[in-house]
């Protein structure tokens, strides 16, 4: 008999409309109103939208122009990232009261492995509920949570009862839960993949499950193997408390499109300075510099150069970015420029805390309290 995947107690905590909720908390005049963090009605892109704005179809990554068109009463708010970081640290401190196995995905969400937790509480559902209450009482914001046997199902479940809710998928419920799940709800299935699956007659988990591994790999490449296993409740990725940063970037959307490279260089100077600051703060350097260019027609282009040595100095970053800018002629005026650094020198710096491998047999799954 093949070895069974480990049964874990995983919680995925996801803050509700985090950026927008922080702005509404800090400015009571914004409470109950449709707001968009980032962008404006003429330029830029929405970073986050309040639930009041989402009712009108306003969402992150939408242009400010489209967002305002969808919701004429929309209020644009300048982002305050230092404040978001401050709040995020308070939330993570709460997580660490329960387990050291915390894997942040971003400022507003994280996985927690509470299989063996500091409170000695056998119920992951009760722990998740307690964490959400503490976030509300100590920070002033609401959070949603998903609880299940692995990271994939917990991630999907956390979106089920948003905002300010939670959902537990017990071991014996996993297969039925996944079979009835809309394919759009599968984490890792984006808009393009969803359309492709629809064309192949895949609309729910049970449709996906009916396809063989060879069929899915043929149509979706390496991702096909991922889809084949997760729809069967198999996802063995552990909660990694020390995720290694793979890249670091900064970018800027301009109030007016730029057509002159002289003006672009001026903007790149500021962006390179910010990238250098972030590298220094993170105590890393990188070998690969990537220039991101978004044109006025919203088409996107990236140009990269890998050096023989690590850099973090602004002057060297800017010099490389200039080379990439002049690499080929611009096809249109530019609305956004960004610089990212990858191939960072942090390999091996993070020591992964390995999870206990005392696997549970299938015979005790129903007694595994959630």
Q: Which domain holds residue 311?
A: 247-344
97 located within any domain: no
- Predicted confidence at residue 272, as pLDDT, reads 94
pLDDT of residue 6: 62
- Residue 330 counted as domain residue: yes
Say which residues have a Cβ less than 8 Å from residue 299's Cβ, sequence separation at least 6.
331, 332
What distance in Å separates the CA atoms of residue 285 and residue 283, rounded to the nearest whole number?
A: 7
Calculate mean pLDDT across residues 102-129: 94
Cα separation values, 311 from 3, 225, 247, 323, Å: 45, 37, 13, 15
* Domain at 70, CATH number: 3.40.1170.60
| Helix (H) or strand (E) segment spanning residue 220 | helix 213-220
Domain end point (choices 80, 100, 116): 80
**Per-residue pLDDT, 3:** 52
CA atoms within 13 A on the CB side of 364: 10
Evaluated on CA atoms 152, 153, 154, 157, the torsion sign reads positive
Confidence of residue 98 (pLDDT cuts 50, 70, 90): very high
Q: Which of 40, 65, 80 is the last residue of a domain?
A: 80
Instruction: Say if residues 286 and 352 touch (Cβ distance below 8 Å).
Output: no
The closest alpha carbon to 20, from 1, 10, 35, 8, belongs to 35
pLDDT value at 145 more than 90: yes
Q: Is residue 365 part of a domain?
A: no
- Confidence at residue 40, expressed as pLDDT on a 0 to 100 scale: 83
Give pLDDT, residue 359.
32
Given pLDDT bands bounded at 50, 70 and 90, which one contains residue 142?
A: very high
Number of domains forming the structure of the chain: 2
Burial of 1 by CB count in 10 Å (0-12 exposed, 13-18 middle, 19+ buried)? exposed
Q: Which residues does residue 49 pair with via DSSP β-bridges, in sequence order?
A: 36
Helix (H) or strand (E) holding 207: helix 205-209
Domain membership flag for residue 129: no
Pairing of strands 75-77, 35-37: parallel
Question: Burial level of 293, CB count in 10 A (0-12/13-18/19+)?
Answer: buried
Whether the pLDDT of residue 237 is over 70: the answer is yes
pLDDT average, residue stretch 155-162: 95
Pair of tokens at residue 281: 């703060």
* Position 229 confidence tier, pLDDT thresholds 50, 70, 90: very high
Q: What angle do CA 249, 251, 255 make, to 5 degrees?
A: 175
Class of residue 83 by CB neighbours under 10 A (exposed 0-12, middle 13-18, buried 19+):
middle
Q: Is the pLDDT of residue 349 over 50?
A: no
Tell me the pLDDT tens digit for each residue of 253-299.
888 899 888 889 999 999 999 999 999 888 889 999 999 999 988 88
CATH number of the domain that residue 330 is part of: 3.30.1490.100
For residue 364, pLDDT beyond 60: no
**How many CA atoms within 13 Å lie on the side-chain side of 345?**
13
Average pLDDT over residues 142-160: 96
pLDDT band at 243 (very low <50, low <70, confident <90, very high): low
Please tell me the distance from the alpha carbon of residue 114 to that of residue 95, in angstroms, as a whole number.
10
Annotated active-site residue 23? The verdict is: no
Candidates 23, 103, 109, 238; catalytic one: 109
Residue 179 lies in a domain: no
Please give the structure tokens belonging to residue 287: 């070998």
Place of tokens 């800090």: 26
pLDDT of 179 over the 80 cut: yes
Please say if the pLDDT value at position 345 is more than 90: no
**Portion of the chain with pLDDT greater than 90, in percent:** 70
Give first-to-last CA distance, the chain, whole Å.
26
Is 199 a member of any domain? no
Q: Please state, rounded to an integer, the average pLDDT across all residues of the chain.
A: 88
**Domain end marker among 53, 80, 107:** 80
pTM metric for this prediction: 0.73
Q: Does a structural domain hold residue 23?
A: yes
Q: Look at residue 369 in the predicted model and tell me its pLDDT.
A: 59
Spatial separation of the C-alpha atoms in residues 370 and 357, rounded to whole Å: 19
Is 362 contained in some domain? Answer: no
Higher pLDDT, 184 or 347: 184
pLDDT at 215 over 50: yes
In degrees, rounded to 5, the angle at the alpha carbon of residue 318 between the alpha carbons of residues 316 and 323 is: 100
Return the exposure string of 127-153: e unless at least 16 CB atoms fall within 10 Å of the residue's CB, then b: bbebbbebbeeebebbbbbbbbbbbbb
């Amino acid at each position: 008999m093949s070895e069974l995947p480990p049964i874990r107690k995983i919680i995925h905590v996801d803050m509700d409309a985090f950026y927008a909720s922080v702005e509404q908390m800090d400015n009571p005049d914004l409470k109950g109103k449709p707001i968009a963090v980032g962008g404006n009605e003429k330029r830029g892109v929405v970073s986050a939208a309040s639930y009041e704005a989402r009712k009108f179809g306003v969402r992150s990554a939408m242009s400010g122009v489209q967002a305002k068109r969808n919701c004429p009463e929309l209020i644009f708010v300048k982002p305050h990232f230092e404040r978001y970081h401050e709040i995020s640290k308070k939330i993570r401190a709460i997580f660490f009261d329960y387990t050291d196995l915390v894997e942040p995905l971003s400022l507003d969400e994280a996985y927690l492995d509470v299989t063996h937790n500091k409170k000695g509480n056998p119920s992951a559902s009760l722990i998740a509920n307690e964490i959400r209450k503490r976030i509300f009482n100590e920070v002033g914001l609401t959070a949603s949570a998903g609880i299940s046997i692995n990271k994939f199902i917990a991630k999907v479940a956390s979106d089920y009862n948003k905002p300010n809710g939670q959902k537990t998928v017990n071991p014996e419920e996993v297969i039925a839960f996944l079979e009835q799940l809309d394919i759009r709800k599968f984490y890792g299935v984006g808009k393009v993949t969803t359309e492709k699956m629809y064309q192949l007659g895949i609309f729910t988990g049970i449709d996906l499950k009916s396809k063989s591994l060879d069929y899915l790999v043929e149509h979706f490449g390496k991702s096909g193997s991922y889809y084949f296993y997760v729809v069967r409740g198999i996802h063995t990725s552990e909660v990694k408390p020390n995720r290694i940063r793979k890249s670091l970037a900064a970018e800027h959307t301009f109030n007016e499109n730029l057509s002159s490279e002289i003006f672009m260089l001026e903007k790149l100077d500021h962006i390179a300075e910010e990238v250098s600051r972030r590298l220094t703060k993170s105590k890393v350097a990188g070998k690969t510099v990537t220039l991101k260019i978004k044109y006025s027609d919203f088409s996107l282009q990236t140009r990269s150069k890998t050096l023989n040595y690590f850099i973090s100095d602004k002057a060297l970053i800017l010099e490389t970015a200039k080379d990439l800018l002049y690499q080929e002629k611009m096809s249109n005026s530019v609305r956004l420029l960004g610089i990212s650094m990858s191939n960072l020198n942090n390999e091996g710096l993070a020591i992964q805390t390995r999870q206990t491998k005392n696997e549970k047999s299938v015979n005790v799954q129903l007694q595994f309290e959630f």
